Structure 1
Amino acid sequence: MSLTRTLNRALTATVGLQVRRAPRSTPARPGAAAARPGQRTAPAYRRPSSEDLPVERLLRQPVFVISSVRSGSTLLRMMLGAHSRLHAPHELHLRHLRVDHGDAVARSAMTALDLARGDLEHLLWDRVLHRELVRSGKDVIVEKTPGNAFVHQRLRDCWPDARFVFLLRHPESVARSWHESDPVKRPYPVAVTEALRYMEAVEAARAADSGGHTVRYEDITAAPEEQMRRLCAFLGVEYEPAMLEYGGGGGRLVRGLGDWRETIRTGTVQPGRPLPEPGEIAEALRPMCRTWGYL
């Protein structure tokens, strides 16, 4: 009989108590962050060093467009994807791809490999993007899901050599377009609140990343060649005129619900809507308009 069992028998008979081993606490790994109420807790992970990158990642220097919803990211994706070296697939929503150990045995096995759940998710993200890039036959992948704004730091930790393009648009234009895309689901006040949450995440990411490249939707529609030349220089590729006549096949963009939207994945750059007058801007959006230089 073990010493613990003997002791518990004696304690139970005399004072009605027993001894139990305290649960072992697990120290937090880099990358674990406290979640807001209702938000999924970010899993623990480690940021690979430059020496580890050749082993930890297949993909090198991916490009992420960080933008709000309704900011022209689809237009920018199609223009970049028309380049012979840039592959810009549809939105991939990497942050929602999750890994589950399934049972304690699998968790123990991965722990023995020094792979936390966040590390496994990063391996999955990397393989998905690398597979897509290899299938395209191009050199550089560009991912533009608006939700990336909420996981900018995690993307930076997953790929320390990643490059970021920050796409801005007049906050009032964003909110109106978001409302007009589904007026029943998103009344204007709701659209303002939801769009502002994205814009605040974009600005936080932009403030934390001094090495990124910022471009405005209005500048792209007004001077597309100039902006694509600047963007190509940032990405280290030669500018190609095909970026302004993306797709081929006779497609076009049409006006709908007060905004230019994609109907067929081909076409040329069209003018954006006129900027709102100062008196037309929602009060909640005015601070962001000032931060981004629209007021």
Structure 2
Amino acid sequence: MPSDRPIFILGCPRSGTTMLQLMTHAHPRIAIPPETRFMVAAYQRRLRFGDLDDPARRRELADWIVGRRQSRFHELKLDAAEVTEEIVQGPPTLGSALGIVLRAYAARFGKPRWGDKRPAYLQSADVLLRLFPDAQFVHLIRDGRDCVASLKEMPWYDGSTYEAISVWAEAIDFARRSAPRLPPGSYHELRYEDLTRDPETELTRLCGFLGEEYDPAMCEPSRMARVVPSWKTWHERTRGEVTTARSGSWKDRLSRQEIALCESVLADRLEAYGYELSGGPRAGRSQLLAYEHTAARRRLARFKRTAADRLARLREPNPPAARLTEGQLALAGVPRPRHEPPVPVA
């Protein structure tokens, strides 16, 4: 039976997740939209939406999703009124309401499987698993030095080099520590460098994980680039051919001090994923202390978010898990309609 499990693409920012989104979206059965901004935000506000057994509450939730510009619902080019009614008439859970939006996006392209892409989902995999307990996660990993170099050049990035390095370290730590605790068959990782060098092999492996047949169209993501909003000028390279030209470009884009800091902090993580070190000098003590301060501050922020979420779970009026796919319905204990054999005509 064809799979209907939702698919979530994640990775450190500037690791190539938009390219992978387009590759996956090129598959004839899968639709992955540009980054949305309602998934985790809705989960964090779930207590405000109240008891979703009440259709009026589901309508409030739907209005919040489709009417809030920060959600980027408008970029999905869906009929807001139709999606709202689907949510109101749908299963009374938060995951179902959010999944209905993604399912409607897939239906726009005539595809049965849906999902989402956002680098920040690395910090919220447990949340996504609560919302979609049968989810499959695809983690794209890229040389941390290239990610740091690219992040620093983005018009929307206002963080420091220390923060950029910390973000990549957190992505790798997720792969090494958190991913092994995910349910079997729910996590797959691949390297950007391998994907750009031999896309057919890597995408064939990805399709095997997803339970899908590989389609050659996936190797031409530029044909799908129209789904990326034009104002995101930093994704302009997705409109061209898949290339390895940017792999290793950190050598010309980072200063000696930045390279030293990256390699001093990330050495074991880089080598674990097959990235060679330059052999340059170590970073100075003051740089290392500044990085540790940044990393500690980020860890504290994550701890506070986790603690607040644990308290919120005690007050949830409804289980959040979606009830849209075969796996979700089975996990929720929802009986499926039995297919009775046809009655013979006398």
Q: TM-score range by the shorter chain?
A: 0.5 to 0.7
Question: 1:97 is matched with which residue?
Answer: 42
Residue 178 of structure 1 deviates from its aligned partner by 0.9
> 187, 191, 208: which one pairs with 1:216?
191
Q: Which runs of structure 2 are paired with 1:134-283 in the superposition (5 Å)?
A: 134-182=107-155, 185-209=158-182, 210-211=184-185, 212-248=187-223, 262-263=235-236, 266-275=239-248, 280=260, 281-283=262-264
Please tell me whether the aligned partners of residues 193 and 247 of structure 2 are also in contact (alpha carbons under 8 angstroms). Answer: no
Question: 2:11 is matched with which residue?
Answer: 67
Over residues 156-194 of structure 1, what are the superposed CA-to-partner deviations in whole Å (9 max), with x where a residue is unaligned? 222222111121111221112111224982342332234
Residue 261 of structure 1 deviates from its aligned partner by 5.3
- SS, match of residue 71 in structure 1: coil
Q: Distance in 2 between matches of 1:285 and 1:102?
A: 41
- Paired amino acid for 1:193: S
Please tell me whether the aligned partners of residues 60 and 162 of structure 1 are also in contact (alpha carbons under 8 angstroms). Answer: no
Residue 71 of structure 1 deviates from its aligned partner by 0.8
- Which fold has the larger relative contact order, with Cα–Cα distance below 8 Å and residues 6 or more apart in sequence? 2
- SS, match of residue 273 in structure 1: coil
Bigger helix fraction:
2
Over residues 122-156 of structure 1, what are the superposed CA-to-partner deviations in whole Å (9 max), with x where a residue is unaligned? 23322222222222210212311111111112212
Q: Distance in 2 between matches of 1:120 and 1:249?
A: 32
Q: Which runs of structure 2 are paired with 1:103-114 in the superposition (5 Å)?
A: none
- Number of matched residues? 220
Q: Provide the identity percentage.
A: 26
TM-score (norm 1): 0.63
Please tell me whether the aligned partners of residues 67 and 168 of structure 1 are also in contact (alpha carbons under 8 angstroms). Answer: yes
Q: Distance in 1 between matches of 2:243 and 2:134?
A: 33
Residue 201 of structure 1 deviates from its aligned partner by 3.8
The runs of 5 or more residues in structure 2 that have no matched partner are: 62-91, 227-232, 277-346
Runs of at least 4 residues off by over 6 Å: none
Which structure has the bigger radius of gyration? 1
Residue 101 of structure 1 deviates from its aligned partner by 5.8
Please tell me whether the aligned partners of residues 68 and 202 of structure 1 are also in contact (alpha carbons under 8 angstroms). Answer: no
